[in-house]
Amino acid sequence: MSTDTLVLKEQFPGLAGNWHYLDTGATAQKPQAVIDATVNALGRDYATVHRGVYARSAEMTLAFEAARRKVAAFLGGHEDEIVFTRGATEAINLVAQTWGVQNLKAGDRILLSVLEHHSNIVPWQLLRDRTGVEIDVCPLTEDGRIDLEAAERILTPAHKLVAFAHVSNVLGSVLHVEHAAKLAHAVGAKLLIDGCQAAPRIALDVAAMQCDFYVFSAHKLYGPTGIGALWAKKATLDAMPPWQGGGSMIDRVTFEKTTYAPAPQRFEAGTPMIVEALGLAAAIDWLTAQGLDRAERHERDLAARLRAELGKRNDITLFGPADSVGIVSFAMDGVHPHDLGTILDEEGVAIRAGHHCAQPLMDHLGVPATARASFGIYSDDSDIEALMKGIERTRRIFG
């Protein structure tokens, strides 16, 4: 283990005890800087926002809105284009139930892909049941990427929305977002990108990508759970109706009529996730200081090394492209992924085993589940070594 990696790991209390954590794709461990920021926000600095006239409330309001600006800068957008949500799941549901209900009708079509997370499938099915919109599914290339050539053949002027994952949470394959945007816009459709797996490891610029909606969750970005963000252009947000009603999202309320606050506040009913927003800001600061380019390079290298090690075994099936970023899914002959995960846990190795909230992709791969090792910026070769040692022990147990 290099000195740099050791120093990095020491910033993560959750990695103490030589625990080999390979489930960052599910949720990332938190650096001490983020823990300290959330503790201070919940204790020493705590007050409500947007309401109090006393000094601490004003200071917390400034910090909360500064967090919004930080998210905007992280994505390459503007402050008034960021809606705080409980996570990417809520962000996608928000788009479906506001923009979708307002703009889509029976006869319109949505294009998804085979590899989407359930959070980028089920909200659109709920919208389909409500409006009569139809859903098409884009196939994958042989190595597990969204097939944009097939998407171009499928897309018609009837398509009003394309919703794709930036990085597959199972295969680690990366979408060429700019190409997808060009295809969607060519038929007049908008493009929504699920950036949950991209945000922690790829430098983002929504202006360059030319997408219309971008969503991500903080907890995969070394931040707290319970908060995420939706980015959309201000004009798009301004045209979208409110989703939930309550405090903060209003301009004036009477029993006869209510008028609403401008976006993004229009979509943030109730007391917001104050502590979580400050934790997200701290996570962005921390990750930006490490460098997104460094994170992507590091996690691509680790994924390549693990694929090479697994590829030496004749009892392992690998899924996804050779250049996956930070995520490696595989199956072991004669061993259910849950059994493998249990034995690896005894060896101090944590992986994900299951369908990864991507059951249509499991059906496509012809397996009920896979084992998944997902890296973070704190991961290193010792994690790969421990995983391979645990796999060898599993083979001896199962024969």
Residues 276 and 295 both lie in one domain: no
* C-alpha–C-alpha distance, residues 224 and 278, integer Å: 9
* C-alpha–C-alpha distance, residues 150 and 349, integer Å: 39
Residues 52 and 180 both lie in one domain: yes
Residues 313 and 213 both lie in one domain: no
Q: Is residue 29 part of a domain?
A: no
Q: Is residue 27 part of a domain?
A: no
Half-sphere exposure of 28 (CA within 13 A, CB side): 31
Calculate mean pLDDT across residues 256-266: 96
Residues 164 and 196 both lie in one domain: yes
Select from 256, 288, 320 the last residue of a domain.
Answer: 288
Q: Are 110 and 136 in contact (CB under 8 A)?
A: yes
If one counts the domains in the chain, the total is: 2
Calculate mean pLDDT across residues 303-323: 98
Query: At 382, which CATH number?
Result: 3.90.1150.10
Select from 236, 253, 288 the last residue of a domain.
Answer: 288
Residues 178 and 268 both lie in one domain: yes
Residues 279 and 313 both lie in one domain: no
Q: Are 141 and 177 in contact (CB under 8 A)?
A: no
pLDDT tens for residues 2-39? 556 778 999 999 999 999 999 999 999 999 999 999 99
Residues 106 and 205 both lie in one domain: yes
**Model pLDDT, residue 196:** 98
138, 196, 211, 357: which one is catalytic? 357
**Model pLDDT, residue 52:** 82
Q: Is residue 28 part of a domain?
A: no
Residues 142 and 169 both lie in one domain: yes
Query: At 210, which CATH number?
Result: 3.40.640.10
Say if residue 177's pLDDT is above 90: yes
What are the tokens at 372? 């998944």
What are the tokens at 12? 């993560």
Residues 204 and 331 both lie in one domain: no
Q: Return the residue matching tokens 């139809």.
A: 134
What are the tokens at 393? 């022990």
**Model pLDDT, residue 7:** 81
Residues 303 and 270 both lie in one domain: no
Q: Is residue 65 part of a domain?
A: yes
211 noted as active-site residue: no
Residues 226 and 320 both lie in one domain: no
Domain boundaries, position 113: 34-288
Q: Are 159 and 136 in contact (CB under 8 A)?
A: yes
Burial environment of residue 44 by CB neighbours within 10 A (0 to 12, 13 to 18, 19 or more)? exposed
Q: Is residue 302 part of a domain?
A: yes
Say if residue 238's pLDDT is above 90: yes
**Model pLDDT, residue 6:** 73
The full 3-state SS of the chain, as one line of letters, equals CCHHHHHHHCCCHHHCCCCEECECCCCCCCCHHHHHHHHHHHCCCCCCCCCCCCHHHHHHHHHHHHHHHHHHHHHCCCHHHEEEECCHHHHHHHHHHHHHHHHCCCCCEEEEECCCCHHHCHHHHHHHHHHCCEEEEECECCCCCECHHHHHHHCCCCEEEEEEECECCCCCCECCHHHHHHHHHHCCCEEEEECCCCCCCCCCCHHHHCCCEEEEEHHHHCCCCCCEEEEECHHHHHHCCCCCCCCCCEEEECCCCEEECCCCHHHCCCCCCHHHHHHHHHHHHHHHHHCHHHHHHHHHHHHHHHHHHHHCCCCEEEECCCCCCCEEEEEECCECHHHHHHHHHHCCEECEEECCCCHHHHHHHCCCCEEEEECCCCCCHHHHHHHHHHHHHHHHHHC
Q: Is residue 147 part of a domain?
A: yes
Select from 288, 321, 337 the last residue of a domain.
Answer: 288
**Model pLDDT, residue 5:** 73
The percent of residues in the chain predicted with pLDDT above 90, rounded, is 97
Nearest Cα neighbor of 244 from 271, 212, 213, 277 is 271
CA 23 to chain centre: 14
**Model pLDDT, residue 2:** 57
* C-alpha–C-alpha distance, residues 45 and 278, integer Å: 11
pLDDT tens for residues 91-146? 999 999 999 999 999 999 999 999 999 999 999 999 999 999 999 999 999 999 99
pLDDT tens for residues 274-283? 999 999 999 9
Label residue 290 by pLDDT band (50, 70, 90).
very high
Q: Are 190 and 224 in contact (CB under 8 A)?
A: no
Residues 250 and 272 both lie in one domain: yes
**Model pLDDT, residue 3:** 56
